[in-house]
Structure 1
Amino acid sequence: MKSALFGLLIFLLAGCTNSEQYAGNLPYPYWRLGFLAPDYMEVWVETADVEDVHGNRFYQMGGGTASIAKPADGSGNAAGWRSNLGWGAGRHVNGADLPKRIYVRWQSMAEPQTYRVILDIPERARQLMSERLDPPCRTSEYRHALALGLAPGGIVRGWVMSTCGKPIEVLRAQAEIEPKGPYRGESNGKHRPLSDSAKAYIEKHGIPYGSW
């Protein structure tokens, strides 16, 4: 009798643990939010807040530098988006269901300019993030990553992806200029400085607006 009760207790505890680990209808414990930028077009993400499909808000789910390629010899190409996008620099969004909106504010250091945008994540993105891959990747069965590309001019592109296969584009958006400037006016209008390699590339080639 004691053995049966002990087994039932373990079963119930396991069920509770599982329900706490997976938010809503997610088939995995968390999804990933990442940021990237075109070659040499350096970006500093000031904040990225997430709202999931239930209206729950998760603050500071992104911040710092975006993933970028900037060869010191200037051999990169800032026009367009590179084919091997990767997941971008970011973090896992724990405890959230699939995203409904993402609020992003960032510095486009190449210009320099500060932008802000509210991204309404389309239903297609959530469907793709919920579908089981066939065949699955070696390390994942789902597209559980959302990567946001941030480019000069306030251009935003979004892709969902897994650890294998090609990224699938799910959104395009145009951000607005943040009227308060960098750090919401707390830096006297000063943006973060460019790296030497990015500065040299821009001085030689300029900023390829219209290519993203």
Structure 2
Amino acid sequence: MSKCPWILKLGFALLIPLLGGCAFADHRSLPYDAWSLRFFSRDYMEVWIETADVVDINARVFRRAGSGIPASSYPRPLSKGIPARFKGDPKGWPEHPGGKGRYVRDADLPRLVYVRWQSMAEPQTYEAYIEIPESARKTMLQGEKTYCRADGKWITDHRNMLIVGLAPGGIAKVWLGGQCLLSTEVIRVQGTINAKGPNGGTSDGRHRRLSDESKAYVDSFGIPYGSW
């Protein structure tokens, strides 16, 4: 447990100057080199992640551990124009999601993830503070014997992928996954509207532009609030 439990109650803008007073371990307790932070959005409900910051169990802050465009099935990256038939379905969540992201190098297990994103389908800017349960951290340390189809071998794998799904209405849902293990649900968080708006208030309230295909879907079918 962190020796500074009060640190999570403070805004991220205050974290770095305060961390100098915290004592934390000089080594990580992971059975693998690093864990990864991954994101995805629902079909046509396009998202732009302005920043994702991490606080580990030793109260260290990792700024911009994630940013940019998360994984999504539709619209396809190279698709152009509006299709005759929409093949995607944004309602609900996939049973075992994946995601796109990067490794959080030199971090110990995650205690808190802060994410601020533009929900371009609405449009709106949200932020969420996701406190990772102790039970999830224990799961991240547990090795599990599994058959890996990628190389046709039995291996000991770990759920070292923290996967975050982002949806309109400020919903953030978290899973744990592994290279050869199915993902398991961790927590669902209701985010809040960021008062400064997109880009920290530097873009005069203008959000990033929704693609033509996604806009056509939203205009035709709306946003399935309540399904996430």
TM > 0.5 between the two? yes
* Correspondent of 1:36 among 25, 33, 40: 40
Partner of 1:196 in structure 2? 212
1:85: how far off?
1.6
Following superposition of structure 1 onto structure 2, how do residues 6-45 of structure 1 map, counting pairs within 5 Å?
A: 23-45=27-49
Aligned residues: 190
Alpha-carbon separation, structure 2, partners of 1:121 and 1:23: 20
Q: CA RMSD in A?
A: 1.6
Matched, 1:170 2:181: no
Is the contact made by 1:38 and 1:82 (CA closer than 8 Å) also made in structure 2?
A: no
Runs (4+) of structure 1 exceeding 2 A deviation are: 134-140
- Structure 1: give runs of 5+ residues left out of the alignment: 1-21
TM, length-normalised to structure 1: 0.85
Following superposition of structure 1 onto structure 2, how do residues 19-168 of structure 1 map, counting pairs within 5 Å?
A: 23-71=27-75, 72=83, 73-86=85-98, 88-135=99-146, 137=148, 138=153, 141-168=157-184
Q: Which has a greater percent of strand?
A: 2
Is the contact made by 2:28 and 2:106 (CA closer than 8 Å) also made in structure 1?
A: no
Alpha-carbon separation, structure 1, partners of 2:72 and 2:176: 18
Q: Flag the structure with larger Rg.
A: 1
TM, length-normalised to structure 2: 0.79
| Compared CA separation, residues 113 and 82, structure 1 to 2 (3 A) | same
The residue identity in structure 2 corresponding to 1:177 is I
The residue identity in structure 1 corresponding to 2:118 is Q
The residue identity in structure 2 corresponding to 1:106 is W
Is the contact made by 1:23 and 1:96 (CA closer than 8 Å) also made in structure 2?
A: no
1:81: how far off?
1.2
Alpha-carbon separation, structure 1, partners of 2:203 and 2:227: 31
Deviations 1:108-160 (A, max 9, x none): 00100000111111111111110001236457621110000010000110000
Is the contact made by 2:43 and 2:73 (CA closer than 8 Å) also made in structure 1?
A: yes
